[in-house]
Amino acid sequence: MRVVVCYPAPYRVGFSGATVPLLYSLFEAQGVECELAFLDTIPVSLEGKRNLRDFDIIAFTVQYEWEYVNLVKMLLASGIKPTKPRKGPIIVGGGPCITSNPEPLANILDVAVVGDAEEAIPRLCEAAAEGLSGIDSLMGEEGFYFFSEKCRRAVSSEIAEAKLPSAASERIEATVYGRAARVEVVRGCPMLCRYCLIGWTAKPYREKPIEKAISEIREQAESVQAKKAVLIGAGLTFYSRFEEICERIGTLGVEGSMASIRPELINREKLIAMRRLGQKTLTMGVETGSDKLRDAIGRGGSSEDVLAAVQEAVEAGFSKVKVYLLVGLPGEREEDLAETAKLVEEIRRLNVRVQASINPLIPKAHTPSQYWGFIGYREASVRARKLAAMLRKVGVKAAPGISPSEATIQAMLSLGGRELGDMIVKAAEAGRGAGGWRRVLRAYGI
């Protein structure tokens, strides 16, 4: 059996996380021949240069709704009819946004994997040995959604170890993190912020045992002569052996890197451990400077926690802070934006360079935010510009985040249903990103 794991984005992005190596490892463990494909390798796979038509299973992993169009583009470029009914490979899709709401892809995917791949892939491979009729035998089983019945999310008790596929690793310098090991240390997050997709679709919170994590980092580092290890997981700050894993990574002779952390959970010990790994920038999901709005979205913590974390970071040797900010929160007013700008100004006064990223809040299905609705393109544009102007006045230039047009489309795909399937295909055929989407939406009178 031949399987191709497809990431509907360029290789530089797709191979920077832990998902593609994990899926490759899980399929390989089932004894199937597995290859990889990315948006910029199509119409052929990375390793064997085979057309996607030549595989038995095409397995897409999708991290953002925006990538649905790229998924269809990959099928079209390979000469595969993007909608059912069709002949050829079995087309499977999974990932956080598909787990949250697979409905827009109902006429594109043969089956959606809802939940953890560790539970789904062994059963998928066993059933696929009998072809499409075998896949149908999974109907009603946990983790498999055939768009005709209810489905329970598959949950794995453990986070599987992943190795880096050799062919993809040969180009690893071109990825976002460069020559790095990338290891999922935790999955899910215990906080369940009301807007967070990962917290709700990947619960319960789970940790990879430290011995397995270190073994995985060591093996990957040796295989690609890694210069650093990237620790992945939305709830990473909760990891029960945080300081220890940082210390042990240091003994492997590589630096460490981690994504956004929660300011209310940061302490001097964690910060010192991060600095010893060579991390120079402290990245935090601040979201807003309004404690009222922070409570409304279930974020937890306070502006005082943010400032205390930055002060501790400065004392630990950090010189730069990156903050993620949101606009379009429920009940948000202009004075709340002013509070956010004031908080950023106070951070800057603590003798650090500040980089800010502004993004519109995108409601996600199966999270409480689905009931808030999206503020709309015009309002998202106005609020983002207002906050950016406020930040400039305090000496901080905001880096571009998700554009209001992209956020609008993502919100539509996040909360929409099967009626969006034809639009996705037409947007793929139209091309040109948001411009193609605008033409399609106008044609539908939206």
- Report phi then psi at 352, rounded to 5: -130, 155
- Whether the predicted pLDDT of 352 surpasses 80: yes
267-415 maps to which CATH number? 3.30.750.200
pLDDT value of position 173: 81
CB-based burial, 273-297: b 16+ in 10 Å, e otherwise: bbbbbebeebbbbbbbbbbebbebb
Where does the pLDDT of residue 327 fall: very low under 50, low under 70, confident under 90, or very high at 90 and above?
very high
Give the pLDDT confidence of 384-425 residue by residue, as tens digits.
999 999 999 999 999 878 999 999 999 999 999 999 999 999
CA geometry: angle 172, 174, 175, nearest 5 deg: 70
What six digits make up the tokens of 176? 């976002």
Average pLDDT over residues 40-57: 95
Where does the pLDDT of residue 166 fall: very low under 50, low under 70, confident under 90, or very high at 90 and above?
confident
> Is CATH 3.40.50.620 the right assignment for the domain spanning 177-259?
no
pLDDT value of position 171: 80
pLDDT value of position 269: 95
Percent of residues, the chain, with pLDDT higher than 70: 100
- Whether the predicted pLDDT of 432 surpasses 80: no
pLDDT value of position 175: 87
Amino acid sitting at position 367: T
| CB-CB neighbours of 141 under 10 Å | 16
pLDDT value of position 445: 83
| CB-CB neighbours of 247 under 10 Å | 13
What six digits make up the tokens of 276? 């010893």
Residues of each domain in the chain carrying CATH 3.30.750.200: 267-415
Measure the CA–CA gap between 257 and 439, rounded to whole angstroms. 41
Provide the whole-model pTM. Answer: 0.94
> Is CATH 3.40.830.10 the right assignment for the domain spanning 2-145?
no
- Whether the predicted pLDDT of 132 surpasses 80: no
Q: Minimal CA–CA distance to 362: which of 96, 10, 20?
A: 96
- Whether the predicted pLDDT of 435 surpasses 90: no
Give the pLDDT confidence of 215-253 residue by residue, as tens digits.
999 999 999 999 899 999 999 999 999 999 999 999 999
Residues of each domain in the chain carrying CATH 3.30.750.210: 177-259
Mean pLDDT of the chain: 94
pLDDT value of position 115: 98
Average pLDDT over residues 171-200: 92
Give the pLDDT confidence of 71-115 residue by residue, as tens digits.
999 999 999 999 999 999 999 999 999 999 999 999 999 999 999
Residues of each domain in the chain carrying CATH 3.40.50.280: 2-145
Measure the CA–CA gap between 95 and 20, rounded to whole angstroms. 11
Higher pLDDT, 178 or 207: 207
